Amino acid sequence: MTENLSAEAVFRDIEENYRQILQNMEAASAQAGIKRETVRFMAVTKTVPPLFVNHALQLGIDLIGENKVQELLEKKPLLNGNFQSHLIGHLQTNKVKKIIREVSMIQSVDSLHLAREISKQAQTAELTMPILLELNIGEEESKSGFMPDGFDEIALQIAQLPNLSVDGVMAVPPICETEKEIRQWFSLVRKRYEDLKKHPALQNMHTLSMGMSSDYTEAILEGANLVRVGSALFGHRRY
Ligand SMILES: *Cc1c(COP(=O)(O)O)cnc(C)c1O
């Protein structure tokens, strides 16, 4: 996405990238024995100008993800088409109120405190907010998300809160050197997701959000049904 590329050239790149991604998703789904349509594709639009996001939306992409509240609020009114927005980055409790009506899901719920605030604001707005619980599967200090230890207990507490719908789990595993290694992390996340679903209060969960540009095919092979892809679609981010 360099400045000297014409918008047209970027459009062509996005088209070609999307075609390739769909092909890869198709192959991974076939290998996993599922239909590609059962895996939801999210275009991660952080740092991407509205001009290019709109082009992606024209290609039939119907779900976008943003990390930051401010960027989401600024960009959303400039986008055209039928699409949903999810928040996928760490959310401060004091910003919940600003986005409660602007997103159709918050994927990055990483504390009981935050879940309580979303519940409270959802009640005020008279809506039910779908959420995913972010699992810090690698127990990395640098990442947000719940630690694996005690995850079920906290998930059950959150499931009790009014005006929240706990729809599933989101995770960003540690950076890995090999395909085998990343698949092991995804497999662990899947296991925790399946374990949660055994609880009656959480048996209606349906979304396992994992896999990004470098590893969405491995994630699909390990059971992801929502992949979040940024740079493989739009090119490298320029901050
Ligand atoms: C940025 C981001 C992505 C997409 O990353 P790419 O590697 O560019 O595909 C996915 N999920 C989260 C939570 C992100 O912050």
Q: Is residue 19 part of a domain?
A: yes
Q: Is residue 218 part of a domain?
A: yes
Q: Residue 40 gets which letter from DSSP?
A: E
CA 38 to CA 187: how far, in whole Å? 18
Tell me how many domains the chain contains: 1
CA 64 to CA 48: how far, in whole Å? 11
List, for residues 116-173, the tens digit of each pLDDT value. 999 999 999 999 999 999 999 999 999 999 999 999 999 999 999 999 999 999 999 9
Q: Is residue 6 part of a domain?
A: yes
Q: Is residue 92 part of a domain?
A: yes
Q: Is residue 239 part of a domain?
A: no
CA 11 to CA 52: how far, in whole Å? 7
List, for residues 90-108, the tens digit of each pLDDT value. 999 999 999 999 999 999 9
- Residue 225 lies in domain: 2-234
The set of long-range contacts for 63-72, using a CB threshold of 8 Å and a minimum separation of 24, is 65/107, 65/228, 69/95, 69/98, 69/99, 71/46, 71/47, 72/99, 72/102, 72/103
Q: Which atom of ligand 1 is nearest to the CA of 212?
A: 9
Give distance in angstroms: CA of 65 to centre of ligand 1. 9
Best residue among 88, 140, 208, 214 to mutate for probing ligand 1's pocket (most ligand atoms within 8 Å of CB) is: 88
* pTM for this entry: 0.96
Residue nearest to atom 5 of ligand 1 (CA): 230
Whether 166 contacts 179, CB under 8 Å? no
Q: Which atom of ligand 1 is nearest to the CA of 234?
A: 8
Give distance in angstroms: CA of 215 to centre of ligand 1. 11
Is residue 106 within a helix (H) or strand (E), and if so which, with residue range?
A: strand 105-109
CA 190 to CA 193: how far, in whole Å? 5
Q: Which CATH number does the domain housing residue 160 bear? A: 3.20.20.10
Is residue 84 within a helix (H) or strand (E), and if so which, with residue range?
A: strand 84-87
